[in-house]
A and B are shown apart, each in its own frame.
Chain A
Amino acid sequence: MDHAAGHVEIPYTVSPRPDTGLYNGKLGIWLFLASEVMLFGALFSSLILIRTGSPSWPHGWEELHVVPATINTFVLIMSSVTVVLAWANLRLGNFKLGRIFIGVTLLCGLVFMGIKAYEYSLSFAHGHYPSTSDFFAIYFTMTGLHGLHVLGGMIVFAYFLGPGSKMWHTDRARFTNRIEIVGLYWHFVDLVWIFLFPTLYLL
């Protein structure tokens, strides 16, 4: 694909445009994250509207499993640290270490998804499904959508760990930028969880 688009050279793909101080991908990911804020913002607003309109609302900690979710919170925060380390090492030209940290981040995502699946299975075992109540409906919808975002990030990390890493040898700066961009996305996904965890489990 790259060689196909390569005939037309798009400026500022790698180096920042002087007057805006941004390269294209970085502006792009910030705009994308702005739209993601609107997506999750709409869901949080829905949660507030349904909850305030409901005569009774269960305590999250009585219905859900706080311990695995707490572990998951730490796993996700850890992964946000490792993704920065990956980028920092690549910036320093340390490809080997950078790659290891990409791998660790991917592993954190995997652990998160595993624990999430375990939590879901516990809920199902208790006979709690999305159709059970509005609380479980919003719980499964929001954590499910968040899970899809984690999965999306993991696919991107897996790509950069595998076939995507070839770019390091041809275009070092661009590869580093790509890790920065997926890192920004990963922080956002992390941040969504930071909001989801107290709202659903602790309130």
Chain B
Amino acid sequence: MAQKRQIRIGDQYLYARDAEKALREALRVAEAEEREHAAHQEPWIRRYVFSTDHKWIGIQYGVTALSFLLFGFCLMILMRLQLGWPGQAFSVMKVLGENRAPGGVLLPEAYNQLGAMHGTIMVFLAIVPLAVGAFGNYLVPLQIGAPDMAFPKLNMASYWCYLPGGLIMLSSFALKDGTAASGWTSYPPLSDIATRGQTFWLVGMIFLITSSLLGSVNFIVTIVQLRAKGMNFMRLPFFVWAQFVTSFLLLLAFPPLEAAAVLQLMDRVAHTSFFLPSGLVVSGTPLTVAGGGNPLLWQHLFWFLAHPEVYVLILPAMGIVAEVIANNTRKPLWGYRSMVSATIFLGFMSFVVWAHHMFLTGMGTIISSFFQTTTMIISIPSVIILSALFLSLWGGSIRFTTPMMFALAFLPMFGIGGLTGLPLGLAATDIHLHDTYYVIGHFHYVVAPGTIFAMFAGIYYWFPKITGRKLNDFWGRVHFWGSFVCINGIFFPMFIQGLAGISRRLYDGGMQYAHAREVASQTNPFMSMSAIGLLIFQIPFIVNFFWNAFQAMRGKVTVGSNPWEATTLDWAATSSPPLRHGNFEVMPIVRRGPYEYNSPEATNADYLPQNAVVEQPAPVLAPPTAPVVA
């Protein structure tokens, strides 16, 4: 038959050819289901502990990472108590034990431990696993229309490397001489001669690196190989692009840190001296090691990872913000193609900027000039992405939903974080600002009100997909406004402190220095109170999150599969898609780009999902003619 006939299934109009396929697929799914029920019920441990389903692994990652996020935040609260009111006794400090906080007064070495663990936990155990492990795992296969990740077992292995890595690191709190205390950067020679906690840090790190390696291979293969029919690269949602580039960064930047961790482990365990120079004297006694090593080698290897790591932290956040903004402005992203190109360029450039963290090491002016130049260049793609997101707001009829509030706050917050980075990328200004609170303020603006706000936007936005319930909007707003005010109260004064020359990592926040005392005493108590306020404003979120999660587990589902009226494929799956049955009842066929909001083609709504079939006007049929009786 030459004419294409349409058949209606549910609320979709399909061509006969597609409809047949869809029916076959539905039959296949039903049969598979039958088989599963007929076979013995899957053991609980396989389903919920060692699951190979990307959605469940995503949830595992999410819950674990959020727990680490809260834990790392609590460490920071203890530090802020000490910084705000140095030397005062706090009963809450006693949780650290008598050897770290005798009588509730934090000891300097314990302060260093808290600082090192706060940084490590937040970067490697909280944000990256949340951004990539949780959001990436749950959403990437859904958004590209895949049944699961390409390697489900590797995916499981990735989580089960991450959790032990985190637990190994945390277990060092139980050591008598405490955790690692050399900062999240673990610079030698101090870290080489530090207590046993540093060895735990290194071993934990090797586990975490393995985990992210397995994850990144999996993500790239999934995105390249498992895209649904019609999902070409320029139809990928921006979130998927962000995850794609992020995975390449993880894949190629982490191994040098693994090498560095192996070398430092050798230094500590086999007494080599990769990072120990000759003639090192510790506490008055010369070290009995071969010497001849180079502490700067660690810094190069570390920052070769840790600069791309910054983009690992920020790119998934930008991806989430892009999805939320497109959905809530009800119009396509402005400059999708330039955003994608900027992201790819950003990925490449992030490998050649690392030594801007090392201007103070005396690398020489030629190398410094090179890295200043590349650093200025890499700011361009970030500005392109941010500008495109800002311009996407132009002329939209914005819905101020809770996820949108967080996404909107991300833009200026990341802007402040990014712009304050420029003086740090130029050697002349960096020499003054290096290792001051200005640096802390800069990267916290990028990561805390930047990335973490984007993560919150993502949680509020996709919670209905995962559970079938929306989080409470009123408490969401309380959470947002409280967090927004408090978080600026913590980080903005850091710029003032840094410009006043207050160094980071000071046990008393600078009170013992004449040049710093006045500024420190005026700002630190305020910042600490803001931090406590921030903690209080997380309570509505935690309650909101768990209450709704439990209600959903009891089967009280309140919203449909696409409550935000979104276009991407994740919303084409049912809400809280069942585990182990693939993701889609009918494998989707992609027919257009990801952000067809207010498309003129859409007739009965203001959006057109990527897989929707546009209803053609019904063909005018000739009136049935009466059979001619001969």
Contact = CB atoms under 8 A, between A and B. Distances in A.
Interface in B232-283: 251-256, 258-260, 262-263, 266, 270-274
A35 B262 contact: no
Given A7-B32, A39-B259, A130-B270, A24 B52 contact: no
A4 interface: yes
Contact of B582 (A8, A39, A131): A8
Given A131-B271, A131-B290, A8 B255 contact: no
A25 to B, nearest CB: 8
A119 interface: no
A130 B266 CA distance: 8
Contacts of B220: 27, 31
B36 interface: yes
B217 A31 contact: yes
B301 A46 contact: yes
A24 B221 contact: yes
A5 B292 CA distance: 52
B226 A10 contact: yes
Interface in B322-336: none
Which of A46, A54, A130 has the most CB atoms of chain B within a 10 A radius of its CB? A46
Nearest to A27: B221
A182 to B, nearest CB: 15
Nearest to A53: B294
A49 B297 contact: yes
A27 B152 CA distance: 15
B147 interface: yes
B217 A50 contact: no
Contact of B266 (A12, A35, A133, A137): A137
Contacts of B32: 7
Interface in B139-158: 147-148, 150-154
A12 B294 contact: no
A33 to B, nearest CB: 10
A52 to B, nearest CB: 10
B293 A134 contact: yes
Interface in A64-120: none
A137 B274 contact: yes
Contacts, number: 145
B289 interface: yes
Contacts of B216: 31, 35
A130 B272 contact: yes
Given A10-B152, A42-B304, A145-B262, A132 B225 contact: no
A20 B225 CA distance: 7
- Band of interface residues on B: 35 or more
A1 interface: yes
Interface residues of A, number: 44
Interface in B579-604: 580-582
Which of B36, B53, B226, B256 has the most CB atoms of chain A within a 10 A radius of its CB? B256
Nearest to A44: B259
A11 B301 contact: no
Nearest to A29: B217
B117 interface: no
Nearest to B147: A8
A28 interface: yes
A43 interface: yes
B485 interface: no
B260 A42 contact: yes
A38 B297 contact: no
A140 interface: yes
A159 interface: no
B259 A134 contact: no
A35 B294 contact: no
A50 B35 CA distance: 61
Contacts of B554: none
Interface in A1-45: 1, 3-5, 7-12, 17, 20, 22-24, 27-28, 31-32, 34-36, 38-43
Given A31-B217, A35-B213, A35-B255, A5 B153 contact: yes
A145 B270 CA distance: 14
Nearest to A141: B266
B8 interface: no
Nearest to B155: A5
Contacts of A42: 255-256, 258-260, 301, 304
What 3 A-B pairs have minimum CB-CB distances, sorted nearest first? A137-B272, A42-B259, A42-B256
16 contacts: A1-B153, A4-B42, A5-B152, A7-B581, A8-B582, A11-B226, A24-B225, A42-B258, A42-B260, A46-B263, A46-B274, A50-B294, A50-B297, A130-B272, A131-B271, A141-B263
